[in-house]
A = this chain, B = another copy of it.
Amino acid sequence: MTQIEAARRREITKEMRIVAEAEKIPLKSLQKKIAEGKIIIPKNNIHKIKKICGIGRGLRTKVNVNIGLSPDNQNIRDELKKLKVAIEYGTDTVMDLSVDGDIRKIRSLILKESIIPIGTVPIYEAAVNAKKRYGSFLKLKTDEIFSVIELQAKEGVDFFTIHCGVTKNTIKVLKKTKRSVDIVSRGGAILACWMRYNKKENPLYEYFDKVLDIAHRYDITLSLGDGLRPGAISDSTDKAQISELKTLGRLAEKARERNVQVMIEGPGHIPIHHIEKNIRLEKDICKSAPFYVLGPLVTDIAIGYDHIASAIGGALAAAWGADFLCYVTPSEHLRHPTVCDVKEGLIASRIAAHAADIAKGIKNICDWDRKISLARRKRDWKKQEELCIDREKMISYRKRSLSKFCDVCTMCGEYCALKLIEMRA
């Protein structure tokens, strides 16, 4: 039985208890929101993980880290290091987005080593297999897609991105929409190319019921992917994006009817003044399904600093109701991220999520700020090290710059405002 099914039958699962406890919210209210599809608990019923989480209305904003092999970087050890760092620095979930190399092996290692939910994009493995088998992913057979989905489900993947909104119809809308950049989603591009080559409808849309069958059996949460998301702020909130969102809204409804947990993926590149509208549209069209945003980046110019453009967008999106932030690293648009990029991207996302949670009024969320501010007032550096988001960075910054004056930092030295005020108090 899936979480949504249990909630609808007024049953309380072990997972609901854990989430209610962690979020300090009443079990009944959690159960109700799961039943309504406003909260999901992504966890494959055969995957053993220590740290599960709920995602959705009224809960702390969660963050996701992407890792995985690429055609140019196939070192499994590096990716497992990223997994470790991501968990150490507090990500809530990890997605394995491998698109080359030994995909099965890395996934099995990630699933084994992870204490948190793992997501994948099954169309990637299907495409890579087809390339190996037939020389091109365009030759991929429909059945093979579902075999991969089934396989990954059996292995214990907790949530799938399914690009079921890239349809003959939404591509028609896209063609009529004048865009700076047409498709920037890897899954979206793979499917659009396949559809054109094979002159067929997107199998993930056409046979969405098959996806639901598998997802239901394992209680895999579906993350309906936005394959037509805008990839430039000038394309934000255009007809192609909204047309796809409406398709995802209908499919989300179908998923809930089948008692499958579902969330919706969102852009991408959105200027600040479009963000509130984007959240409202998703919540309206998809009946308050949890919203998983990819950034969003509030400008296209931040090459090398997209984690910052994304922290701005993510904080705003979450403050207005987005539930789940996909991190963006400083190397976005430039290269396969390093371990260090992963850490930087994750911390930027966590800052955005926390800042948004203060605005959302999440219970007790300001305790962390208050404790740090009190330690700061007292110049209690040890306490700040214990509490801060990146102890390693704080220590390295301080180590290289210690004040000759007692207990202050080298910015103000004896003119430290906190100390001046205390001395004269």
Contacts and interface: CB of A to CB of B under 8 A. Distances in A.
Interface of A: 70-73, 99-100, 124, 127, 180-186, 188-190, 192-193, 196-197, 231-234, 271-273, 298-305, 307-309, 311-312, 315-316, 319, 330-337, 347-348, 351-352, 354-356, 358-359, 366, 368-370, 372-374, 376-377, 384, 387-390, 393-394, 397-398, 400-401, 403-405, 409-418, 420-421, 423-424
Contact of A304 (B233, B301, B393): B393
9 contacts: A181-B376, A183-B417, A183-B421, A186-B415, A186-B416, A192-B424, A196-B424, A312-B315, A331-B397
Given A355-B309, A424-B197, A302 B410 contact: no
B358 A298 contact: yes
- Tallying the copies of this chain within the complex gives 2
A405 B300 CA distance: 24
A204 B353 CA distance: 41
B184 A417 contact: yes
Nearest to A300: B369
Given A308-B311, A308-B351, A369-B233, A189 B389 contact: no
A349 to B, nearest CB: 10
A373 B305 contact: no
A354 B234 contact: no
B348 A308 contact: yes
A189 B422 CA distance: 10
A163 to B, nearest CB: 11
User: Of A127, A196, A411, which is in contact with the most chain B CB atoms at under 10 Å from its CB?
Assistant: A411
Contacts of A409: 333-336
Contacts of A315: 272, 298, 312
Given A301-B368, A304-B388, A311-B312, 12 more contacts: A71-B404, A71-B412, A72-B404, A73-B410, A180-B377, A186-B415, A186-B417, A231-B417, A233-B366, A272-B359, A299-B358, A304-B390
Contacts of A272: 315-316, 319, 355-356, 358-359
Contacts of A192: 421, 424
Contacts of A377: 180-181
